[in-house]
Structure 1
Amino acid sequence: MKKNDSGDFSVFYIEPGDEKATLFPILSGQQKPVVLMLADGARAIQRPDDFTALKHLKRQYNLTLIFVIEHSAQLKQLAIKNGFPVYESMEQLIDAVRGGQAARQRSLNRSNTASLAPEISTRTTRPLPSDQTTGGESAQPVAAPGLPLRPAPVFVPLPQAQNQPHYMSQPSVSAEQKPLLAFDTQATQASNQFTPAPGQLHREVPFAPRISPDLSVQPPPPEPIQPAPPAQARVHTKPVSKLLAFVTIALILGILGSFLVFSRSFTPGIAAKPTPSAPAAVGRVTFTSSGQVNETSSQGIADQVVLDLHGIPNPAANKKYYAWLLADKSQSDPMSIALGALTLTGGKAHLQFAGDNQHSNLLALTSRILITEEDAHVPPISPSLNTQDWRYYGEFSATPIPATGNAKPYSYLDHLRHLLSSDPTLEQMELPGGLNNWLYRNTSKLVEWTGSMRETWENTKDTAFIQRQTLRVLAYLDGTTFLYKDLPAKSPLLVNERLARIGLLDVNGPDQLPPDYMDHVNKHLRGLLQASNPPAGLRQQVTDLTVAMDNIELWLTQVRSDAQKLMKMTPAQMRQPVTLSIINDMIDNANRAFAGQADPSTGQTREGVSWLHDHMQLLATLDLKPISAKMSSDIPQILPNQVNGRVMVPFEVKR
């Protein structure tokens, strides 16, 4: 294993003999974005399980991981399916960074222009950048005259300390070594030498970065600022007098208003009583997914639970805390699922419930959680019937949210289940598992189909294969109901009809039925915000998810546009070089839609479906609060002979 850590990246060259047990501990301690270059035959990252483990490592340590894979199309697909940005060469990665630098400069120019003329720049823009040429194969390399386009990376072998594991050693980099990539992230405004007419914004100058011999992108030197001519003094007479009179009147009215407010607040019997604050949350429970999904059920989605509590007093002598998932309030059968006993350490408790061997969707079965304090020696099989034993409680709101027009009113719980468990429209079409699941699955298929087109075209020019893969892509983008818009008459359907019944994009207007996945997901995300008491932080969560949805929709729309172009070509036209450019663009945009688009110089990513899928599941989070007398009356009473305690067989991990 070799490493270059002297630039803005930590670049690892993974050699065939390197072991995963050595690599992963080193990655966990990295502070910079990490570039992983895989040599041909590198066994440390080779199997699907290796990429899954890297995905968990990325989340756990908040890492930025980028792959450079030159030799294996299979490894590229595995990396993309797990949400990692992939480049075919270091040159392509450098080009993407340089393109991102130019895009940020253009954005800076626009923001500075708006600050110079705020009364003109009033249009609200989406947070999605407009530059679509950064990254991927379509990015054009930028190099200063006389510099090589393909620099040779400088790697430093990781040192091996005596009697010390490889991963415990610290890399040492010589001060004389040149950095592999050293990107100057300081943005400098480009300026023009002209005077704008009154009411006119100054025009924008394209950013042309200069490349130094160490490959760092240097900003252009700032233009000298010309001092503004001194303004001529003006003598104010009557307008000043009018202004002073106006200010005096405003002050008098303000003093009178303050007197009335304070006099009312200090008058006995008039002062408002302080509103009692709601009890603070002492923890939360999150429904997570194992990913053990299939196409015929909702299993493997929201099938696990993670519970964390803090500031909890120790239970009474011979007592323990027990956690229970409860069914909806509206159900006549108060089913409960035992999560287990809690172990306190310093007032904190952590419990992870791995679900059952069937990976049952817990969010479809339950919507509430209860913590009880009961006998420590005889574990209960269902929650105590005595409300005096209840300690903490949380629930997803099942109160219908008023809807406008003829729309059906849904509750917060309904919106959540449509996204993560079961949507009625999808159920009618035999698509169980919720919207988030199918958006993820169908977008990943686009990556598979588009990714197989380039090699076939380059090797055999098999236009029939290119056309078949394009037909499959359009079937998932349009849905079988509207596929006729893009395909010739009597075209064969080359995908499973059931799985393509709903399209990813809106291709028939805002009233499209059935609604496409993108619009349908957005509808329920907006619905969550309309609840009367949404959870803390929900608005920011939904905002982040919506921004990602905008990115994904833009990329998928471009994939559809390229597919339409290919379908209009004859076999002879499809053999022309322009076809490869279209295929490359399809591959780039499909990969971006699924995995996002990374800016390696900043570590920032415009998120795709992979990120959206994982973070949408975090919406299924409940706050737990101490049970008060009022809250006890809101929890349905558990009466004798009405308890259906469900003991789930814990999921056993096969070793």
Structure 2
Amino acid sequence: MKKNDSGDFSVLYVEPEDDRVELFPVLAGLKKPVVLLLAEQARIFQRPDDFTTLKHIKRQYELTIVFVISHSGQIAQLAAKNGFPVYQSMDQLAHAVSSGQLVRQRALTRPTVPLDTARATPTIPTRPLPPQPMQVQQQQFPYQQQSPLVETQRQPQQLLSEVQRPQPQPQPLQAPSQAPQQPPLVAATPPKPRSRRLPAIITVITVALILAVVGSFLIFSHSFQSTALEASAPADVGHLSFISSGQVNENTSQGIADQVVLDVHSLPTPRAGKKYYAWLLGDKNQNDPTSIALGALNVTAGNAHLMYAGDAQHSNLLLTTSRVLVTEEDATVTPLSPSMDMQSWRYYGEFSSTPIKAADNVKNYSYLDHLRHLLASDPTLNEMELPGGLNNWLYRNTSKIVEWSGSMRETWEDTKDSAFIRRQTMRVLAYLDGTTFLYKDLPPKSPLLVNERLARVGLLEVNGPNQEPPSYMAHIDHHLRGLLQADDSSTALRKQMSDLTSSMSDINAWLAQVRVDARQIVNMSDAQLKQPPTLTLINDMIANSNHAFAGQLDPSTNQMRQGVIWLHDHMQSLATLELKEVKPNASGVIPQILPGKVSPRAFYRIGLKDDGTPEIR
């Protein structure tokens, strides 16, 4: 991701490898109107759920967000449908701003960071985009310039360093229904020449990097020599990640972990007449083994990237598979299943299904079990008809609390409708407490205003550490800590878990404060609900529910305290399989790979007896 903050807009160039985990925290720290410039094949904003989250961030941080999309009519349609202005190029956006066609988007409250009133036309750093026709009807973009502009082609190194535009005299922003004011045309200021010190700086940096690489190599060599006798584990050559399309509903686990992305590097060129093929495999202990063909790998400069979009039903792949295999097989006839000849096996990885040895692991859960409870299917939730795993329901129910809290302020300010305020607050409490414990906070015989099934499990622990059913927060914490108990959990995994549990602590505190405010509101009389202190409580509920969902920038440290959006995506990233090279002997090696480091005992050699039958050595 590249960022240019030099003008009146913060321009973010979203590259193909960027994802929502990286982008959304950056947005939360911005103060200026934001231009999201999407590169071709950018994988973010491919699903409606991304725009739902973006709308929450826009409201919480009172941002103006504009898209520049030159390559995808489908993404442009999604953006426009969700109320975001869309332009085909930076030149079109600049023309719209200078002509007064672009107006600040409405937020929940009056924006606290207005456009620079000293300059009517904000300066926008622009970048090259090839002129491509948009496959979207014009009326879907009410803020887009009606006549296409011819864009000058520039070089890639000028990506986010475009010239600043001189400013005309100030004039108020125009509403869409008003006739735009046309400012006088102005000439662009030529770019500043590059500093002559730049080559010297690059030279210094290059020398420093070389020294760092050499030093790292010496350290690594010493470390490798000291451990070579202990283990001869093959190096990671890539990974496969389970991702979600977001095509979810309340009644199935579909749309969660229903796609996979495979990246492999350092691949040798396949032998003549051969191709690499990737496969998802079922659990090792399955009586009827599952295999899903992901497709052939196209190798370019030793690297291969493959995305498997899943089936038409968006089936949860993590429910039925836990291993990945890459084979080298006949290029002329696509195989229907992986070869049984292990000489053709090249790369392999799996989630451990071995029960974790821990005193409190009374149910003999494995790493794979904990992962599936979080991301695919949890037995406790299944009994309550809540499929899809814990992560999905935490995200969904927290977003509903944001929605119900956010709807109260405008109603209170406009009509003082005490009955509506009370109903929305009762809905918030239902999701925080769960139906089993809701009536600790509501008057007797209060109606249940939400779907009873969807509120069976609360977000918060409100009846002590052993409450049944456990809250989403406590239940997720249990399984995250279970993953850490795996024998081969790596240092990187432990750091990731530390970040996740820290986020959980912040989310729990924010939601607990929402509950404190909600309990005060439901105990007020109608007359009290119409008094100014009620608005203070509502504002506090909105702020804390937004923090719990989208996070908060800590002003004392300038660090982001992460919310459910970040937690949801990082828990999803735990479903990543590391691939190791299969180093064959006469008949091959099958690595039994656990997440993290690999021990010598993790390999079984397959050989042949004198009579030709296989044996494990």
Shorter-chain TM-score bucket reads 0.5 to 0.7
The residue aligned with 1:616 is 571
**Which runs of structure 2 are paired with 1:394-409 in the superposition (5 Å)?**
394-404=349-359, 407-409=362-364
SS at match of 2:512: helix
| Greater RCO (Cα-Cα under 8 Å, separation 6 or more) | 1
Aligned to 1:549: 504
The reply to whether residue 300 of structure 1 matches residue 258 of structure 2 is no
CA contact (8 A) 1:286 1:620 kept: yes
Is the alpha carbon distance of 1:355 and 1:563 closer, same or farther for their aligned partners in structure 2, counting shifts above 3 Å?
same
Paired residues of 2:124 and 2:165 also in contact (CA < 8 A): no
Residue type of the alignment partner of 1:558: Q
Q: 1:456 to 1:67 in 2, by over 3 A?
A: closer
Q: Give 1:11 shift.
A: 4.7
1:172 alignment partner in structure 2: 164
Paired with 2:267 and 2:125, the residues of 1 have a C-alpha distance of 47
Cα displacement (A) at 1:88: 3.6
Against the structure 1 CA distance between its residues 528 and 50, is the aligned structure 2 distance closer, same or farther, given a 3 Å change threshold?
A: closer
Give the one of 393, 406, 411 matched to 1:438. Answer: 393
The answer on whether the counterparts of 1:457 and 1:466 sit within 8 Å (CA) in structure 2 is: yes
- For 2:559 and 2:581, locate their aligned partners in 1 and report how far apart those are by CA, in whole Å: 39
Distance change (3 Å), C-alpha of 1:505 and 1:339:
same
CA distance in 1, matches of 2:484, 2:10: 42
Render the CA deviation track for 1:209-267: whole Å, top value 9, x for unaligned. xxxxxxxxxxxxxxxxxxxxxxxxxxxxxxxxxxxxxxxxxxxxxxxxxxxxxxxxxxx
- Whether the 8 Å contact between 1:420 and 1:436 is mirrored in structure 2 is yes
Q: C-alpha distance in 1, partners of 2:246/2:420?
A: 32
Deviation per residue, 1:116-136 (Å, 9 max, x gap): xxxxxxxxxxxxxxxxxxxxx
1:420-457 alpha-carbon deviations (Å, 9 max, x no partner)? 00000000000000000000000000011111111111
Structure 1's 631 and 482: CA in aligned 2 closer, same or farther, altered over 3 A? farther
Secondary structure of 2:455's match? coil
Contact 1:5 1:173 in 2 (8 A): no
Tell me, yes or no, if the aligned pair for 2:348 and 2:591 is still in contact at 8 Å.
no
Q: 1:357 aligns with which of 312, 316, 340?
A: 312
User: SS in structure 2 opposite 1:538?
Assistant: helix
Letter in 1 for 2:151: Q
Q: Which residue of 2 aligns with 1:450?
A: 405
Residues 132-177 of structure 1 deviation map (CA, whole Å, 9 limit, x = unaligned): xxxxxxxxxxxxxxxxxx98464534489995359989241679x9
1:407, CA displacement in angstroms?
2.7
Question: 1:529-548 alignment to 2 at 5 Å?
Answer: 529-535=484-490, 537-548=492-503
2:174 — aligned with what? Answer: none
Taking the TM superposition and a 5 Å limit, the aligned residue runs for 1:40-119 are 67-68=62-63, 88-91=109-112
In structure 1, stretches of 5+ residues that fail to align are 13-27, 40-47, 59-64, 81-85, 95-149, 178-270, 639-655
Partner residue, 1:632: 590
- Superposed displacement of residue 548, structure 1: 1.1
Is the Cα–Cα contact under 8 Å of residues 9 and 123 in structure 2 kept in the other structure? no
Q: Given the alignment, which residue of 427, 444, 466 partners 1:472?
A: 427
State the match for 2:418 in structure 1. Answer: 463
Alpha-carbon distance in 2 for matches of 1:576, 1:360: 51
Deviation at 1:527, TM superposition (A): 0.6
> Shift of residue 599 of structure 1?
5.5
C-alpha contact (below 8 Å) 1:338/1:381 kept by paired residues: yes
Check 1:79–1:592 CA distance in 2 against 1; reply closer, same or farther (3 A cut).
farther
Instruction: Tell me, yes or no, if structure 1 residue 563 matches structure 2 residue 518.
Output: yes
Task: Output the CA distance in 2 between the equivalents of 1:355 and 1:54.
Answer: 22
The code of the aligned residue for 1:164 comes to E
- 1:156 paired with 2:122, answer yes
Matched residue SS, 2:579: strand
Report deviation, 1:315. Answer: 1.2
Shift of 1:604: 3.8
2:320 maps to a residue whose letter is: L
Is the CA contact 1:453–1:583 (under 8 Å) kept in the aligned structure 2?
yes
Q: 1:282 aligns with which of 222, 237, 248?
A: 237
State percent identity of aligned pairs.
Answer: 59
Q: Which amino acid aligns with 1:441?
A: R
Q: CA deviation at 1:600?
A: 8.5
Q: What is the CA–CA distance in structure 1 between the aligned matches of 2:47 and 2:481, rounded to whole Å?
A: 37
Give, in whole Å, the separation in 1 of the partners of 2:4 and 2:246. 35
Measured against aligned partners, the alpha-carbon deviations of 1:452-482 in whole angstroms (never above 9, x if no partner) come to 1111111111111111111110000000000
Q: How does 1:385-534 map to 2 (within 5 A)?
A: 385-404=340-359, 407-534=362-489
Q: CA deviation at 1:526?
A: 0.6
> How far apart are residue 10 of structure 1 and its match?
3.7
Q: Is the 8 A contact 1:68 1:88 kept in 2?
A: no
Confirm or deny: 8 A CA contact 1:36 1:66 kept in the other structure. no
* Secondary structure of 1:345 counterpart: coil
For 2:556 and 2:331, locate their aligned partners in 1 and report how far apart those are by CA, in whole Å. Answer: 55
User: Of 306, 331, 336, which aligns to 2:286?
Assistant: 331
Q: Aligned partners of 2:313 and 2:511: how far apart in 1?
A: 34
- State TM-score, norm by structure 2: 0.65
Larger displacement relative to structure 2 (535-544 or 385-394): 535-544
CA 1:292–1:420: 2 relative to 1, 3 Å: same
Residue 256 of structure 1 is matched in structure 2 by none
Q: CA RMSD for the aligned pairs? A: 4.0
Structure-1 residue corresponding to 2:551:
596
Would the aligned equivalents of 2:4 and 2:125 in 1 still touch at CA under 8 Å? no
Indicate conservation of the 8 Å contact 1:400/1:411, yes or no: yes
2:103 is matched with none
Q: Distance in 1 between matches of 2:533 and 2:64?
A: 25
Report the CA distance between 1:38 and its aligned residue. Answer: 9.1
Given that 1:482 and 1:507 are in contact with CA atoms closer than 8 Å, whether structure 2 keeps it comes out as: yes
Q: 1:291 aligns to what?
A: 246
Question: What is the alpha-carbon distance in structure 2 between the residues aligned to residue 502 and residue 597 of structure 1?
Answer: 26
The 5 Å alignment of 1:29-48 reads: 34-35=30-31, 37=33
What aligned pairs does 1:173-252 form with structure 2 within 5 A after superposition? Answer: none
Unaligned runs of 5+ in 2: 12-22, 36-44, 66-78, 85-106, 129-148, 170-225, 593-602, 607-617
CA distance in 2 between counterparts of 1:285 and 1:393 reads 10
1:465 to 1:395, Cα distance in 2 relative to 1, 3 A: same
Q: SS where residue 305 of structure 1 aligns? A: strand
Q: Aligned pair in 2 of structure 1 residues 411, 560: CA closer, same or farther (>3 Å)? A: same
Deviation at 1:273, TM superposition (A): 9.0
Deviation at 1:363, TM superposition (A): 0.5
Letter in 1 for 2:314: H
Q: Distance in 2 between matches of 1:370 and 1:498?
A: 40
* Among candidates 338, 346, 349, match of residue 301 of structure 2: 346
What is the TM-score with the length of structure 1 in the denominator?
0.62
Q: Deviations over 1:171-219 (max 9, x none)?
A: 41679x9xxxxxxxxxxxxxxxxxxxxxxxxxxxxxxxxxxxxxxxxxx
Post-superposition CA distance 1:506-539 (Å, at most 9, x none): 0001001100000110111111111111256211
